[in-house]
Amino acid sequence: MAVRPDPLRFRGAVLTGGASRRMGRDKAFIEHDGRPLVRIAADALLAAGAVHVTCIGGDLDRLRSLGLDATADRHPGEGPLGGLIDALRLTPGASRPGEDDVVMVLTCDLPLVDGSVIEPIVAALGSQPAADAAAPRFDGQPQLLSAAYRAVRVLPRAEAAFAAGLRAVRAGLDGAAIVEVTGLDAAKLTDADTPEALAQVGRLRTGHHPGPQVAS
């Protein structure tokens, strides 16, 4: 009988440093089904097997009052690429070879996210050791803010793009080997960055899906 490989050890990061301008208030603390959105994201990462979860940026005191680990955004107002860089830097293996270097990154505005949609993304990265990242693919594009990264490989690339004045996450991943995962439940990774989008979440339904498919 074939022996299944051990699950990939990984950390989690939730990006909580955005200005939430379209929402009109801090998205991280808006409640859905009685839980703050940031707590939903953190719990999903832990349920998927994350050994530790850190929130990047935002109201640190308020985040910590929810029992969450939180650290300051070193690039406030500079967009999501700065938050991704912070998440990568906090991963031990980014600077110490031999340590764990995988981090699964989420935004804090995913009301329906849970561990079942995170597990196949991390597993896809683990199944392809040469890959730099794994991301779900929806609407023809990899969703790079709901993705797993090998920090030791991606951090230098992202930092170089940032230093060159680029701020788009896609620019920070230029040339990276990204495993794309399809067949996931899109509703569970649907963001809610406006009051209207949040109101629509209650009408979303999860259902049968063919299961994750991986393509590099």
Structure token digits, residue 29? 């603390």
User: How far is residue 118 from each of residues 50, 82, 95, 164, 193, measured CA to CA in Å?
Assistant: 10, 22, 25, 32, 20
The end-to-end CA distance of the chain, in Å, is 28
- pLDDT reported for residue 195: 75
User: What confidence score (pLDDT) does residue 3 get?
Assistant: 41
Per-residue model confidence (pLDDT) at position 207? 56
Give pLDDT tens digits along the chain (216 positions).
Answer: 444 456 789 999 999 986 555 555 688 999 988 999 999 999 999 999 999 999 999 999 999 999 999 999 998 888 899 999 999 999 888 776 666 799 999 999 999 999 999 999 999 999 999 999 999 999 889 999 999 999 999 999 999 999 999 999 999 999 999 999 999 999 999 988 777 877 787 666 555 566 677 765
The predicted pLDDT at position 216 comes to 53
CATH of 11-204+211-215, one of 3.20.20.80, 3.20.130.10, 3.90.550.10, 3.40.50.300: 3.90.550.10
Report the pLDDT value the prediction gives residue 51, as an integer from 0 to 100. Answer: 95
What are the Cα distances from residue 40, in Å, to 12, 61, 131, 159?
13, 18, 28, 29
H/E segment holding residue 42: helix 37-47
Q: How far apart are CA 38 and CA 66, in angstroms?
A: 9
Q: What is the pLDDT of residue 22?
A: 54
